[in-house]
Each structure stands twice: as structure tokens, then as C-alpha cells.
Amino acid sequence: NAGVMQNPRHLVRRRGQEARLRCSPMKGHSHVYWYRQLPEEGLKFMVYLQKENIIDESGMPKERFSAEFPKEGPSILRIQQVVRGDSAAYFCASSPLVGTGLITEAFFGQGTRLTVV
């Protein structure tokens, strides 16, 4: 059973370009979470998705950032018109379907390191 797969591992974009980060959850996992980590800092929650549904996007910047988790295929974090301040490591995590009273563990991918030049 493969773990959470993120690609690309490293991504370089010029200012103004678009960045698309992909996350394939573990088999059987229906929940995906995205986080941003600046150098020497902790992880900041961005968005929490279930297939075809955004559950919590309270950590997403209001502009230029969007996320989706379609019925088929990976979850995508999309950053339009990137700026230097978007340079960071972006991690996704996945967990199984959460049942009533059931606590599940989230497993992390290797991250995508975005550099905006």
C-alpha cells in the first residue's frame, strides 16, 4: 500500500506563473488536507477536503489559491500568479473516512517544495 504521494517534489515557477501541486491519498482514504510550511516554521493549515467537497478552507488565502479533490484523480492545490512569498513547502495528508466517534490518523506526503523566482 503506497503512502501519500505528492508531485512534483520540487517546483520552480517564475513570478506570475501558475503552480499546480498534486496529492494522491493513500488507498482507501477519502479525506485530504493541505498545509504550508515556511522555512524554520510550523505547518499552517490551509484546506480540508473530502471527495468533491471542501469541508474547511479557513486557512486558504482569499485570492489566487484554490483546491479541489475530484471524484477521480488526485487532489490539486492551485496557485495562480505566484509571488515570491508563495515559496514554501506544501504538504498534504490523508485520512480514512471518519465515522461517528471514530478517531483516525492522518499520514503525510513528502511535500512539494515550491520556489518562485
* Residue 98 within binding range of another protein, rule CB under 8 A: yes
Q: CA dist 77 to 22, 63, 85, 100, 101, Å?
A: 7, 13, 16, 28, 29
Among 28, 84, 85, 105, binds another protein (CB under 8 A): 105
Nearest to 65 by CA among 50, 83, 52, 51: 83
Phi-psi category of 71—alpha, beta or left, where left has phi over 0 and alpha has psi -120 to 50?
alpha
Site string for another protein, 30-69 (x = CB under 8 A): ---x-x-----xxxxx--x-------x-------------
Q: Which stretch binds another protein (CB under 8 A): 12-20, 62-70, 79-87, 106-114?
A: 106-114
User: Residue 61 is placed in which grid cell?
Assistant: 488565502
Residue ranges in contact with another protein by CB under 8 A: 33, 35, 41-45, 48, 56, 91, 93, 98, 103, 105-111
